[in-house]
Amino acid sequence: QKEVEQNSGPLSVPEGAIASLNCTYSDRGSQSFFWYRQYSGKSPELIMSIYSNGDKEDGRFTAQLNKASQYVSLLIRDSQPSDSATYLCAARKSGYNKLIFGAGTRLAVHP
Amino acid sequence: DTAVSQTPKYLVTQMGNDKSIKCEQNLGHDTMYWYKQDSKKFLKIMFSYNNKELIINETVPNRFSPKSPDKAHLNLHINSLELGDSAVYFCASSQDIDQPQHFGDGTRLSIL
């Protein structure tokens, strides 16, 4: 089992729809979680960090964390073609000073 | 102003050569990292330094040697380059491991 798992996609959504990206993790002790966006040929850029159960909203983005079920999700409302990218989920490995990244989900928003 | 800058952006070289990648951050962060992203886009930690001290050293061939002259700089030297070293190498920094990491633009290493 991978430590952080994501569906590789592509996830295809029409412009204006809600894109839902999911991530599960195996380390029950993980406390810090991050979503990064990576455009092709570019570096990862932070979208959101989340540390507590529940929802955290920032503009069109909402991160959701459920530690009991060990999943993190990212919702993108009113998806735009410019949101088309690979979204990386990362979790801090408990007891270690490192993040474990998922393989990423490719999102394609079509006009 | 660039927050995390790494040079060079592209590195094309032959097998067996030795090369270095430099990284600097002006965010005042205490922790810096090197990641490798392979052709499948999987991002994997290689090394982590906190205040010039090595704190993470993953299962990386000892041909890879990081050096941190001060907490704003973390360089990566690679000896005897092999075909499998071809990848994009990202430098990153954060205030600590639980804070978001900021990535440099990456160095695309191609081994001929």
The overall average pLDDT reported for chain B is 94
The overall average pLDDT reported for chain A is 95
Q: What is the 3-state secondary structure (H, E, C) of B13-68?
A: ECCCCCEEEEEEECCCCCEEEEEEECCCCCEEEEEEEECCEEEEECCCCCCEEEEE
Average pLDDT over residues B45-70: 91
Asked if residue B34 has pLDDT above 90, the reply is yes
Query: What CA–CA distance (Å, rounded) separates B23 from A104?
Result: 25
Q: Give me the residue label for tokens 């092999």.
A: B82
Q: Is the dihedral of CA B76, B54, A96, B80 positive or negative?
A: positive
pLDDT of residue B77: 97
Contact state of A46 with B101 under an 8 Å Cβ cutoff: yes
Q: Taking Cα atoms as reference points, which of B22, B67, B27, B28 lies closest to residue B49?
A: B67
Asked if residue A1 has pLDDT above 80, the reply is no
Contact between A50 and A58 (Cβ < 8 Å): no
Of B41, B97, B104, the CB nearest to A97: B97
Of B40, B97, B102, the CB nearest to A98: B97
Residue B62's alpha-carbon distances to A51, A64, A95, B16, B41, in angstroms, are 35, 40, 24, 14, 23
The alpha-carbon gap from B106 to the nearest alpha carbon of chain A, in Å, equals 6
Asked if residue A107 has pLDDT above 70, the reply is yes
Chain B hits for A31, Cβ within 8 Å: 98
Can you tell me whether residue B99 is helix, strand or coil?
A: coil
Residue B30's alpha-carbon distances to A68, A84, B72, in angstroms, are 32, 33, 8
Contact state of A45 with B40 under an 8 Å Cβ cutoff: no
Asked if residue B1 has pLDDT above 70, the reply is no
Q: What is the 3-state secondary structure (H, E, C) of A24-87?
A: EECCCCCCCEEEEEECCCCCCEEEEEECCCEEEEECCEEEEEECCCCEEEEEECCCCHHHCEEE
Average pLDDT over residues B4-26: 97
Taking CA atoms, what residue in A is nearest to B42? A103
Query: What CA–CA distance (Å, rounded) separates B74 from B80?
Result: 20
**CB pairs A-B closer than 8 Å:** 50
The alpha-carbon gap from B21 to the nearest alpha carbon of chain A, in Å, equals 16
Contact state of B45 with A99 under an 8 Å Cβ cutoff: yes
Chain A hits for B106, Cβ within 8 Å: 42-43
What's the start-to-end Cα distance of chain A, in Å?
A: 36
